[in-house]
Structure 1
Amino acid sequence: MRIAIVLNTSWNIYNFRMNFVKTLIEKGYEVHTIAPIDDYAHFLVEAGCIHHAVKMDSRGANPIKDAALIVELLMIYRKIKPDIILHYTIKPNVYGTLAAAILRIPVVNNVCGLGTVFLKDNLVSAIAIGLYKFAFRFADKVFFQNPDDLKLFLDKKLVHPQAVDLVPGSGIDLEHFTPKRYERNDRFTFLLISRLITDKGVLEYIEAVKKLRSSGVDARFQILGAMDPEHKRGIKTEVVNDWIKSGTIEYLGTTDDVRMFIDKADCIVLPSYREGTPRTLLEAASSSKPIIATDVPGCNHVVTDNYNGFLCKLKDSDDLADKMKKMAGLPANALQRFGENGRTKMEAEYSQTLVINKYLAALEKFKRAS
């Protein structure tokens, strides 16, 4: 059986789907990966995938480029002749599904997150909803990463009820992200892991840090993640540099392995506006780290308030600062208990094995149907 996997970056496939890809290859599937060429594309080929380059800009919408993407994907699908196509991220979900529909190829889509477009009531939001509604008429299966996103799509009649199912994000490799012996830092250390765009609550984090510093809280405040000033909601490089120069935060840059940074932190923070299932929180919880996140879809499924961390109000730097101060003031045994609870939650609900098995079951149904 020939399977095509389509994402907006090769990095995304390598970092979040590689165990699934390896499982497919081990089971005898012929796996074709379709994504723009980047530094991680060669890892896919080395693992046994047949890789196909595609031009795809994940930033914003451009009608001319998006129309060209449909044509490009159509040509690739026609060449590969896959038995089924798995789409992840917004543009593959929409435009890849339309290309597959023309060729009558079955598709399984994964709604990894809705972003802020669904939180607004404007022309861009209306267009996005219309595109989803039209494209998803042709989807044979649509996985959602949290029940709120699933309900929203059903309420707006964007997808057929019989096509939907839930998966716990991309899942987490429990053997890769493991707890280390608990040690509290002399100076309590907060870490935000995120691309530097406003949707992730980076500005609220900075405001909270300033409030905590002005009130005399002696802690370390770190950010790990790529700058993306070209993104529509990206934070300008000079702004980030000002934060660094003023000592507001420690900027850790980027990394291919977040584990050492998570292990050295006391608490992971993500004040995001909305998520599918945030990978960084899964990694943190699997590593037995307490978490502070916003009480929004995606985040509030990973974090149970006062069980494995604290939930804060959306876009509220005062409440975020209060929760951070409260976390830093907890005794070591309470912090350790939060971490242990998070690990337990990951083992019960978010193991990568659960995700892989869901996909394998879906593929088996298609194999039997064909």
Structure 2
Amino acid sequence: MKLLMSVNTSWNIVNFRAGLVRGLQAQGYEVVVAAPRDRFSDAIERDLGCRFVDLPMRGHSRSPATDLALFSRFVRTMRIVRPDAFLGYTVKPNVFGSLAAQLAGVPCINNIAGLGSIFNETGPTARIVAALYRLALRRSKRVFFQNSDDLDLFVTRGLARPEQAGLLPGSGIDTVHFQAAPRRRDRKSVFTFVLVGRLLKEKGLAELADATRSVRREHPDVRVWVAGPLDSRNPASIAPQAMKRWVDEGLFEYLGVLDDVRPVLEEADCVVLPSYYREGTPRALLEAAAMGRPIITTDMPGCRDVVDDGVNGFLVPPREIPALAGRMAAMVKASTDEIAQMGQRSRNKAMRQFDEQLVIDRYLAALDAVLTPSRTAENDRGARARRA
């Protein structure tokens, strides 16, 4: 059985879906990946053993002509690959890939990994996106969500039917690759916070800068590391000039883009993500939890699923700088034992609720339900051919 998996970057497949790809392959599925070519595309073929189809797409484009061209490319890809099922991720593949799959009679399984900012808007763009989702998902066999808030929103607005909708523990996390790491510090060391992720305005970078400035008045040695891409093509991205100002002021140390975040997480005392973005389940928080780090994040969809307030970290209201500064200061003042206990609870929660095997098992169950009639028909044809 052949699966076509599509997402808006090859980077996403390598960093977020590699475990799922290997799990599907272990059960005999052939996985073909359609995504724009980037520096991670070769790894899809070399390391994951997938056939790669270069499918250019502009994730932030709102041009009807560009989207129509993308739909045509998906239609052509369906004809060439002839998959038994389509697995869609991110907005463009979920919409235009699913529509092309429907046209080709290919069953779809979709994954809605967060809603970003578009569903916070009320203008025509938000209405168009909702209409496209409603059209694209109407014949999907399964629509997975990464948090219950997004699932409820789609069902309430009629974008997905209750019987289609299913909940996943984010993209899952490999708790062997991301192992618990002891803190490499004593109480005389500099307390280090770290934020890892796409550096969008709605990830709360400006709020974190203000909170850090406040915390530094009492704890001048506190250090904040920031890692992730600055995407000048995305209007929602933090401007490089803003990052430079924060770095020059001494509020942040910017680490750039990391291929492996584990060494940084090992050195960090606490992971912070003051996001007011509609996250799915933030991968950075899953990585932090798996490695046994306490977390400070916002009481927002997706973020709050990873943190039990006061147990393995703290939840703060979005965009509330005094609350964020207060929780950062409380973390700095916590004893070594308190930090260690919070970290262990993070690790326990990651293993119990977010292990990637849970995601793999739910995909396998969905595929089995979708493809069982096809397998039966295929077996019947084989049996008739043998008898002949």
* TM-score normalised by length of structure 2: 0.93
Contact persistence 1:142–1:165 (CA under 8 A): yes
Aligned with 1:328 (options 332, 348, 359): 332
Once the two structures are superposed, the pairs formed by residues 291-306 of structure 1 within 5 Å of their partners are: 291-306=295-310
The SS at the match of 1:192 is strand
Residue aligning to 2:344: 340
- The residue identity in structure 2 corresponding to 1:318 is P
Residue aligning to 1:24: 24
- The residue identity in structure 2 corresponding to 1:58 is G
Report how many residues are paired: 370
Deviations 1:262-321, CA, capped at 9 Å, x for gaps: 110000000111210000000000000000000001000011100110001111122111
Contact persistence 2:183–2:266 (CA under 8 A): no
- The residue identity in structure 2 corresponding to 1:240 is M
Identity %: 41
Give the distance between the partners of 2:198 and 2:370, measured in 1 at CA.
36
Structure 2 residue runs of 5 or longer lacking an equivalent are: 375-388
Structure 1 residue runs of 5 or longer lacking an equivalent are: none
Displacement, 1:38? 0.9
Displacement, 1:29? 1.5
Residue aligning to 2:125: 124
* TM-score normalised by length of structure 1: 0.97
Deviations 1:237-261, CA, capped at 9 Å, x for gaps: 1121121122121011111100000
Work out whether 1:269 is the aligned partner of 2:253. Answer: no
Contact persistence 1:111–1:145 (CA under 8 A): yes
Once the two structures are superposed, the pairs formed by residues 115-194 of structure 1 within 5 Å of their partners are: 115-184=116-185, 186-194=189-197
Residue aligning to 2:200: 197
- The residue identity in structure 1 corresponding to 2:351 is E
Give the distance between the partners of 1:65 and 1:282, measured in 2 at CA.
34
Structure 1 window deviating more from structure 2 (175-184 vs 146-155): it is: 175-184
Give the distance between the partners of 2:248 and 2:217, measured in 1 at CA.
17
Higher Cα Rg, which structure: 2
Displacement, 1:216? 4.4
Give the distance between the partners of 1:108 and 1:237, measured in 2 at CA.
37
Work out whether 1:313 is the aligned partner of 2:317. Answer: yes
Work out whether 1:226 is the aligned partner of 2:221. Answer: no
The SS at the match of 1:282 is helix
When residues 60 and 217 of structure 1 are mapped into structure 2, their CA distance, relative to the original with a 3 A threshold, is: farther
Contact persistence 2:184–2:266 (CA under 8 A): no
Contact persistence 1:154–1:161 (CA under 8 A): yes
Displacement, 1:236? 1.2
Root-mean-square deviation (CA, aligned residues, Å) is 1.2
Runs of 4 or more consecutive aligned structure 1 residues displaced over 3 Å after TM superposition: 182-185, 214-217
Give the distance between the partners of 2:49 and 2:140, measured in 1 at CA.
27
Contact persistence 2:226–2:254 (CA under 8 A): yes
Residue aligning to 1:258: 261
Residue aligning to 2:369: 365
